[in-house]
Amino acid sequence: EYTSAQLSTTRGPTPELIIGDSGSGDLDCPSALAFDEDGDLWVAASDSDELLGYSQTQLASSGTPVPSVVLSDDGAGQLASPAGLAFDAAGDLWVSNAAAGTLVAYSPDQLTSSGAPAPALSLADDGSGSLNSPHQIAFDTSGDLWVASSGTNQLLAYSPEALASSGSPTASIVVSDDGSGSLDEPSGVAFDPSGDLWVTSPDSESLLEYTPGELSTTGAPSATVVTGTATELSGPYGIAISGAST
C-alpha cells in the first residue's frame, strides 16, 4: 500500500504496508484486487486458482495474515487463472477467468466463508471466440460489464440483462483495434469520473482512453493513446482511477 502523499511525486517510496503470503501458498501470483462495500479486500490469486478475502483489520498493518475467506474452484474448472474482479451494485463478485474463458459471479452469501461453491452465475463465449483470455473487468454507470478480452484484442460489454442468468450471451458492444495496433492484448480497464474508459495495453506499452461516445456502439474507434516512449510506461498491466481522476 502507498499513501496518497507517496503518490504525489515521482520517486521510489517505501510502501506504507506490505501483505505477504501466510505460508499456505494461497497468495500466488495475485492478478486483481477489489474492495467490497465493507472495506474488505478481495484478491484474485491466479496461480492457485483462488479468491482471497482480507478483512479491514488484517489490512491495518504489514504482515502475513491468513486470508479470512478463501474460495476455490468447485471442481468444474470455472475458477481457472482468475484475472479480473469487480463488484456489481447487488454485491455480487464477478470474476474473469483467463484460462477458462469465462465470467462467473459469486453472491454475497457465498463470500462469507471459505469453501468451493459453484458460482451463482457463469457466462461463456457465444461461439464467436470474442471472450478469449478475459483479463480485468469494470462496470460502467449503466451496469454494463466491460471486459478486456486479451486473446482477441477487443473490449466487450455485457448488458445487465445478459448478466442476469447463466449462459453464452453475445456482447452488446464490441470495441476492436482501429488498425494502429494500440489495442494489443488489453489487460486493465477502469472508468474515470467522466465515464471515459481507460485501458492498459502491455504489448503496445500504451494507455488508451475511450470516451462514452466511442463506447456507445460496436466498432473500431480511435482512442486517445499515451505511449511508453515518453512516459516510462513499460508493459502496463492493471489500472485504477482515484477520485481525483488519476
For residue 90 the three cell numbers come to 447487488
Contact between residue 95 and residue 85 where contact means Cβ atoms under 8 Å apart:
yes
Model pLDDT, residue 234: 82
pLDDT digits (tens, 9 = 90+) for 14-43: 888 999 999 988 899 999 999 999 999 999
Rounded CA separation 205/203 (Å)? 5
**What is the per-residue pLDDT across 93-148, written as a single tens digit (0 to 9) for each?**
999 999 999 999 999 999 999 999 999 999 999 999 999 999 999 999 999 999 99
Whole-number Å distance between alpha carbons of 17 and 152:
37
pLDDT at 100: 96
Q: Which three cell numbers stand for residue 61?
A: 498493518
Q: Alpha-carbon distance 26 to 53, whole Å?
A: 11
First to last CA, the chain: 16
Q: Give the pLDDT confidence score for residue 89 in this predicted structure.
A: 96
| Least confident among 66-70, 171-175, 240-244 | 240-244
Which tops the pLDDT comparison, 71 or 9?
Answer: 71
- Predicted local distance difference test score (pLDDT) of residue 228: 63
The chain-wide mean pLDDT, for the chain, equals 93
